[in-house]
Structure 1
């Protein structure tokens, strides 16, 4: 039987081994710096950082959360490791260890996460967190988010890991902030999705590049969303929209693009895919949403459903025509009873 002392000793052995081979950590940081020097989107920069965190520390899960435009909620930007099939968790500033780190600007290293009063557990989480390392992401003196790494083993992280965590954050923050500012000009601030104004030019760009590989569009409309605003108010409605956008981002493929078309309508542009690919992703979004309520904050959980129209580009039609076919398919799903997927017939039929 392993005691707490054994667990801590094993964690120290892991740290000492890493210290004996500092070139491994240095090489990982240099590779990350090289990747981040490229022209990456915000999603790509965040994913590169969480992947690097798992390479540096091991552990079971790494994530980055970024403050939304209100400065009150921490949205999941990227995750690597365990639990990727689960709905991402959203924290408010000050909530949980991640919220505490963002609120105070101080790092946190928890040898026994379950025993720490700041730690918040979630029943839907499939893996157990034994220890936790969280460092703030700070730009020009302002905390914009946090990087966290977990392990199922108590006492897994050392003080040296805190130093390494800060180095990782410092290597990452410039690229994240640069990509974040570029994205803000083209982003719906409420949901951190791409804006409607950016949809047409980006879709046209994907069509030019996708003649050989295929492009599909999903057009999604939340069913009876007006009832959410009428029942709980627009503040809850806004949080539900953000939660839905998080679900979609974590369900679609990494190369797919999420846009907010307006109101409760969202569009996913899927480069390099077949009709089967698009229908499979659409069904995954629908079933994921139907399986668990969305967090509206203030203890409110909203059962929400979605109707989705799917359209595959025919290789010749315009971006507007492709979007219109997806839109018509979405309305077919509405007329068919909602909470379902409808696929547009080929163009011209």
Structure 2
């Protein structure tokens, strides 16, 4: 039996003047889940978080928490706590004072504030830091203080507005797992805003991909990665190589051909995945799912596209090769050194191809 949602959005709309930013969001979030709002800048993810928290008013639709309409409630009465991108710590306060500030506003007795803050300092690896100024802390430590301040008020819902974007790469990787562990330990419902797909997949159990103020896809990290439902989602989730093909049906299979490239033909077995009708299609695939054949040998049930290596970059542990072909440029990851100017064939296994009906009015979106 499915749990009743803790948060339910119905037809949520937000506009800044004449510019409609959220265009009818329907979303149900179950208690204790970790949800990532994912998308590029301008897609509406931060506006959605701020509308949930009460900092941005909606112009249509509804927001309910545990069945209670909170549309007209101020932020402090919504049962939520937010960790801001900038952390928003008080520089004139100590670590303990920052973490206990929300409790002080709620007039919690001092002994109880001290107990909760001490527990959080221990849990967050900040023992002995309570009397320090936040100005003396590293970025990762400040992030922990901001997280502790949010958790101190024991919220049902924790909102995270790109909390790791100001950290260096090494600390960011560590904090992903720490925040996820803390969320599970407290059992709070967490909603994260991020533009980093890897961050969303590592931290969340449900990913909501936004596209120009609308939800493009909702699913587990595995679902949105392995089974994107639109070209936009495929490209945003890393399948940025795109080739135009012609599709036809034959004996229950979808046959893909590239016009002008006779050897580029592959059959896709029916595996239950939605398939577009016969006709013009656009095919997406990931750099790491393809291989580069410099021997010219045929190989398996793959889409094979002959071309020339244009340039090679070392990624550490492998090489990223740009391949020029008669049907476009592709980037392919290759385990061994390759040389610009050599002939090579891009080989993409049939299961790694994401196929969509081609919309001539809208080219595939390639997020930066």
TM-score, length-scaled by structure 2: 0.26
Between structure 1 and structure 2, the one with the greater Rg is 2
- Larger strand fraction of residues: 2
TM-score, normalised relative to structure 1: 0.27
